[in-house]
Amino acid sequence: MKLTSVSKDSISDITNGELVNLHLRIHQLWAQRKYKKIDIQLLKKCHVIIVDELSNRGLKHTEDAMKKVISGLETYLEGLS
């Protein structure tokens, strides 16, 4: 799903796995924001919508685990530059 397509209605029809993967993708893009031209406001908007949907479905929003993944990705990207 393209980030420009993310809305409360559009994500209500995706599976839990797709929702979790979309959430991970948002965090991956956030980690790449220093290296790519990324619409930060769009990322923030999508993140709010996704976290709300995670909550509505009773799924946890685990920032601690996500921060570890993103930290590793940022370290890797810094090593490439």
Segments forming the whole domain that contains residue 37: 3-80
Q: Rounded to the nearest 5°, which phi and psi values hold at 48? A: -60, -45
Confidence label for 45 from pLDDT (cuts 50, 70 and 90): very high
pLDDT of residue 61: 76
Q: How many structural domains are present in the chain?
A: 1
Residues 6+ apart with CB under 8 A from 39: 3
Provide mean pLDDT across the span 34-47: 90
CA proximity to 21, closest of 40, 1, 7: 1
CA gap 47, 17 in Å, rounded: 16
The string of pLDDT tens digits covering residues 49-60 is 999 999 899 987
